[in-house]
Amino acid sequence: MAELKSMECKNCGAQVFFDIQQQVMKCDFCGSTYLVEMDPGEGLPGEGESILLFSIDERKARDIFNAWTKKGLFKPGELHKALWREKVEGTYIPAYNFRFTAKTYWAGDRKRTRTRTITGRDGKQRTTTETEWIPRSGSWEHPYDMFIPASAGLTFEEVEAIAPFKLESARPFSTEYIAGYKGERPTIDENTAWSKAQEECRQDERSRVSSEVERINTLDVNFTDRLVKMVYLPVWIFGYRYKDKYFKALINGLTGRIWGKKPVSLIKVLLAVGIVVLVIAVIVALIVATRG
Ligand SMILES: [Zn+2]
């Protein structure tokens, strides 16, 4: 069984754990080298937590990343060459998995418009539109299975960008799964994550009600049968520096879905803008010429 050690990044606040045999020199989330070793036992996963294992290996992740670096209209030409040797880290990102039932009671008004043609006193016909609001209400129940990232290293939007993760294939956490990988400890507490989950759920329910009525007067969402579990999500992280700026790309370790930011070549952007301006100038000149 692998023995784990943990470190904290003083720049972004991420707490990373890894196999004791591994050397961790920099933080993959922000590129900082300001890492501080934590006390033994601190910042390590505990019992009752779950893990989703990688099904995309490093080679496959590299292929996906390489194909991605070749794409993009405005990326610097030499980017692909500069990146193919970059180090890649398989990291388990912590997330809360909330399962619950949302019971919603709603009331509102449905819009109905009628167009009528009436004959005025002067004998002329006019059409009028009348709007009527018909009160409607209802209630329903929906099961939810959601995850809310608990990461300090990645934002909620970054993790969402490579979702979904098949949470049903999660298994109990064991340190042996960490050999060759890294993991991050949650730095967002359960209450904060639960508020976020409720907010997401209310938004979902609101859009469901919106398909029933045009005007919502009451929207009451009650949460029952709540189950919570900490689950580690497999993510390949490609962190790289380009002209002193830190960029990263993320790959879902289960589906291979990639998301990331690429540097932009200023020359290419200026060239594109120049072409657009030129085309507009030619069109304007042609219009002027045909009118004159
Ligand atoms: Zn960091």
pLDDT in tens, 69-88: 887 766 776 676 666 566 78
The predicted pLDDT at position 42 comes to: 81
The predicted pLDDT at position 228 comes to: 95
Domain containing 268: what range? 264-292
Contact 98, 197 (CB under 8 A): yes
For ligand 1, the distance from its centroid to the CA atom of residue 185, given in whole angstroms, is 13
What is the C-alpha end-to-end distance of the chain, expressed in Å?
Answer: 85
- Domains contained in the chain, number: 2
The predicted pLDDT at position 121 comes to: 83
The predicted pLDDT at position 24 comes to: 81
Residues 274 and 145 in one domain: no
Q: Go through 108-135 and write b for each residue having 16 or more CB atoms within 10 A of its CB, e for each that does not.
A: bbeeeeeeeeeeeeeeeeeeeeeeeeee
Residues 285 and 242 in one domain: no
Residue the block writes with tokens 């340190």? 175
Residues 174 and 240 in one domain: yes
The per-residue DSSP string of 181-217 comes to -EEEE--S-HHHHHHHHHHHHHHHHHHHHHTT-SEEE
Residues 175 and 287 in one domain: no
The predicted pLDDT at position 239 comes to: 85
Residues 109 and 161 in one domain: yes
Residues 283 and 163 in one domain: no
Residues 279 and 250 in one domain: no
The per-residue pLDDT of the chain, averaged, comes to 89
For ligand 1, the distance from its centroid to the CA atom of residue 87, given in whole angstroms, is 16
Helix (H) or strand (E) holding 36: strand 35-37
Q: Which of the residues in the chain have pLDDT under 70?
A: 1, 73-74, 77-78, 80-86, 292
How many CA atoms within 13 Å lie on the side-chain side of 249?
25
Cα gap 38→250, rounded to integer Å: 26
For ligand 1, the distance from its centroid to the CA atom of residue 153, given in whole angstroms, is 6
For ligand 1, the distance from its centroid to the CA atom of residue 168, given in whole angstroms, is 30
For ligand 1, the distance from its centroid to the CA atom of residue 127, given in whole angstroms, is 66
For ligand 1, the distance from its centroid to the CA atom of residue 34, given in whole angstroms, is 8
The answer for residues whose C-beta is within 8 angstroms of residue 68's C-beta and 6 or more apart is 249, 258, 260
Residues 236 and 173 in one domain: yes
Residues 281 and 142 in one domain: no
Of 213, 200, 214, nearest to 138 by C-alpha is 213
Contact 95, 148 (CB under 8 A): yes
Helices vs. strands in the chain: H and E counts, helices first? 5, 11
Residues 195 and 285 in one domain: no
The predicted pLDDT at position 81 comes to: 65
For ligand 1, the distance from its centroid to the CA atom of residue 66, given in whole angstroms, is 24
**Alpha-carbon distances of 187 from 99, 133, 141, 152, rounded to whole Å:** 21, 48, 32, 6
The predicted pLDDT at position 94 comes to: 96
For ligand 1, the distance from its centroid to the CA atom of residue 152, given in whole angstroms, is 8
Q: Which residues on neighbouring strands pair with residue 106, listed in sequence order?
A: 138, 219
For ligand 1, the distance from its centroid to the CA atom of residue 35, given in whole angstroms, is 8
Residues 282 and 255 in one domain: no
Contact 27, 35 (CB under 8 A): yes
Contact 235, 250 (CB under 8 A): yes
Residues 135 and 221 in one domain: yes
For ligand 1, the distance from its centroid to the CA atom of residue 261, given in whole angstroms, is 17
For ligand 1, the distance from its centroid to the CA atom of residue 240, given in whole angstroms, is 13
